[in-house]
């Protein structure tokens, strides 16, 4: 994971995370993230997505010993470009649709990517 500097107000973090693009028309597209920030996301999806479409981006960290619940982030597709591996989709998160829980989960997700947090292994989790 690395931060990318550019003219954006929020730093982007390159990452490869399992994702789904859940479109308002009911389609669910498998995807992988390319980068993410507090303001938006870029994924490679299996099918094209029309700009201005509303979608929820569901991200899931999958490791050898654990898998997280999806972080669901509502957004609006800004652009879509065909690539060798599928369709690169850029979206901005929708502040009106993001509830407090979504903002908190995005914050935790980005802090994990930045190395500020770690996910405990199964043998490190305290019993109930």
pLDDT reported for residue 118: 66
pLDDT reported for residue 125: 45
For residue 120, being part of any structural domain is answered with no
For residue 127, being part of any structural domain is answered with no
For residue 104, being part of any structural domain is answered with yes
* Three-state DSSP state, 124: helix
Is the Cα torsion angle 10, 13, 14, 19 positive or negative in sign? negative
**Structural domain that includes position 20:** 2-115
Cα dihedral 104, 94, 43, 90 in deg (nearest 10): -140
Report how many domains make up the chain. 1
For residue 75, being part of any structural domain is answered with yes
Q: What does the angle CA 58 – CA 66 – CA 46 come to, to the nearest 5 degrees?
A: 35
For residue 9, being part of any structural domain is answered with yes
What would the pLDDT profile of 89-109 be if each residue is shown by its tens digit? Answer: 999 999 999 999 999 989 988
* Cα–Cα distance measured from residue 45 to residue 102, given in angstroms and rounded to the nearest whole number: 22
* Three-state DSSP state, 8: coil
* Whole-number CA gyration radius for the chain: 15
In the chain, which stretches have pLDDT less than 70?
Answer: 1-9, 63-67, 117-128
pLDDT reported for residue 119: 58
Which CATH number covers residue 100? 2.40.10.220
For residue 44, being part of any structural domain is answered with yes
């Amino acid at each position: 994971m690395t931060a990318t500097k550019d003219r954006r107000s929020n730093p982007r973090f390159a990452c490869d995370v399992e994702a789904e693009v859940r479109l308002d028309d009911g389609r669910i597209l498998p995807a992988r993230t390319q980068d993410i920030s507090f303001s938006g996301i870029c994924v490679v999806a299996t099918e094209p997505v029309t700009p201005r479409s509303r979608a929820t981006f569901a991200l899931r960290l999958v490791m050898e010993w654990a898998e997280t619940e999806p972080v669901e982030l509502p957004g609006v597709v800004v652009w879509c470009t065909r690539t060798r591996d599928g369709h690169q989709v850029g979206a901005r998160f929708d502040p009106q649709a993001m509830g407090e829980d979504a903002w908190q989960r995005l914050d935790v997700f980005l802090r994990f990517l930045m190395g500020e947090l770690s996910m405990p292994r199964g043998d490190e989790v305290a019993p109930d």
